[in-house]
Amino acid sequence: MNPRQTNAKAFKDSAKGIPEATVARLPVYLRALQGLKERGVETVSSEELAAAAGVNSAKLRKDLSHLGSYGTRGVGYEVEYLVYQISRELGLTQDWVVAIIGVGNLGRALAGYGGFASRGFRVAGLLDADASIVGQRIAGLAVEHTDKLETIIKDQGVSIAVIATPAAAAQTVCDRVVAAGVTSVLNFAPVVLNVPEGVDVRKVDLSIELQILAFHEQRKAGGPHEEYIEVHP
């Protein structure tokens, strides 16, 4: 019935899913590899690449083994070939159209961020609800009013929305982009977004990261765990 069942071995192991933890590390490997490539390195061992990516080498090998068998025993991995394979697996060999909603400080920083364009992400729209910002040119793009959100998403074929609005506006904006057909959302607003099945949300929260650091910092200094704690009265 399903060809996979008759000839499963010829299909990539990844068919049934690369572990999330691995997916999250692939971009790190990719960046390390691109660095090596720029320096003219043609071949790299798992040990070297692991060091460059800040992970241990067994983990690196297992991660890469999920994509297929792309190394040569006794030699290592061919940098250029591996760059291509990881890019393809991540979907970076095609272009992705992105819209950024909310052009405050953060939205501006995102619009100007070089790391997008170089990895196949094309910013097709900057939108804001504030009329005094609409019309400004930022990173070569004119800011549009959020009224046009649906139009832009559909006309430009936006598939990923970046939400950089204030917290209060985020859920509404999210509902609108989802209704307009977006299925992946990167959320910078400090709220938990509710989305229907089938839509992916990833969250980046600046203050959460700081809080996690504070927790560990406190531990180093001898935090509350050192004290005798009273019971809830």
Distance (Å, whole) CA 127 – CA 157: 15
* 100 close to 127: Cβ distance less than 8 angstroms: yes
Q: How far is the CB of 147 from a copy of itself (least distance, A)?
A: 25
* Binding partner at 77 among DNA, a copy of itself, none, C-beta below 5 to 8 Å by kind: DNA
Interaction of residue 57 with DNA, rule CB under 7 A = yes
User: Tokens 């006309």 sit at which residue?
Assistant: 155
Complex with a copy of itself: residue 179 or 214, whichever CB lies closer: 214
Complex with a copy of itself: residue 30 or 149, whichever CB lies closer: 30
Three-state secondary structure readout of 109-176 = HHHCCHHHHCCCEEEEEEEECCCCCCCCEECCEEEEEHHHHHHHHHHHCCCEEEECCCHHHHHHHHHH
H or E element that contains 209? helix 206-220
Complex with a copy of itself: residue 141 or 186, whichever CB lies closer: 186
Selected from 3, 74, 140, 222, the binder of DNA by CB under 7 A is: 74
**Short-list 22, 26, 31, 29, CA closest to 118:** 31
Per-residue tokens: 17: 């899913």
Per-residue tokens: 20: 């999330």
Site for DNA in 20-39 (CB under 7 A): 20-22
* Binding partner at 74 among DNA, a copy of itself, none, C-beta below 5 to 8 Å by kind: DNA
Complex with a copy of itself: residue 23 or 41, whichever CB lies closer: 23
Q: How far is the CB of 137 from DNA (least distance, A)?
A: 42
Interaction of residue 46 with DNA, rule CB under 7 A = yes
Task: Point out which residues bind DNA (CB under 7 A).
Answer: 19-22, 45-47, 55-59, 61-62, 64-65, 69-77
